[in-house]
Structure 1
Amino acid sequence: MPRGQQLLLPVNPVFIGASLAAALAINMLPLGRVLWMPDVLMVLLAFWGVHQPLRVGMGLAFVFGLCMDVHQSALLGQHALAYALVLFGTSMTHRRLLWFRAWLQALQMLGLFVGAHALQALIRLLSGGVFPEWDILWAPVLEALLWPLASMLLLAPQRRAPDQDANRPL
Structure 2
Amino acid sequence: MGLNAANSPEILRPVNPWFMVLSLFVAMLLRFIPVDRDWLMPDFLALVLVFWNIRQPRRIGIGAAWCFGAIMDVHSSSVFGEHALAYTLLSYFAITIHRRVLWFSPLMQAAHIFPLLLAAQTVTVVIRMLFGANFPGLWIFAESLLTAALWPLTQFVLIAPQKLPLNRDEDRPI
Q: TM-score, normalised by structure 2?
A: 0.90
**One of 124, 137, 145 as aligned partner of 1:141:** 145
CA distance in 2, matches of 1:33, 1:158: 35
Q: Read off the aligned partner of 1:7 and give its amino acid letter.
A: I
Deviation beyond 6 Å, 4+ runs, structure 1: none
8 Å CA contact 2:49, 2:65 repeated in 1: yes
Q: Read off the aligned partner of 2:20 and give its amino acid letter.
A: I
- Which residue of structure 1 aligns with residue 76 of structure 2? 72
CA spacing shift, 1:96–1:164, aligned 2, 3 Å: farther
Kindly report the root-mean-square deviation, in angstroms, between the aligned alpha carbons of the 2 structures: 1.7
Q: Read off the aligned partner of 1:125 and give its amino acid letter.
A: M
| 1:4 Cα deviation after fit | 3.4
- Which residue of structure 2 aligns with residue 120 of structure 1? 124
Structure 2: segments with no counterpart, 5+ residues? none
- Which residue of structure 2 aligns with residue 129 of structure 1? 133
Q: Read off the aligned partner of 1:8 and give its amino acid letter.
A: L
Q: Does 1:8 align with 2:28?
A: no
8 Å CA contact 1:7, 1:160 repeated in 2: no
CA distance in 2, matches of 1:71, 1:4: 40
Structure 1: segments with no counterpart, 5+ residues? none
CA distance in 1, matches of 2:11, 2:135: 46
Q: 1:47-86 to 2 correspondence within 5 Å?
A: 47-86=51-90
| 1:5 Cα deviation after fit | 3.7
CA spacing shift, 1:163–1:98, aligned 2, 3 Å: farther
Paired residues, what number?
Answer: 168
8 Å CA contact 1:36, 1:137 repeated in 2: no
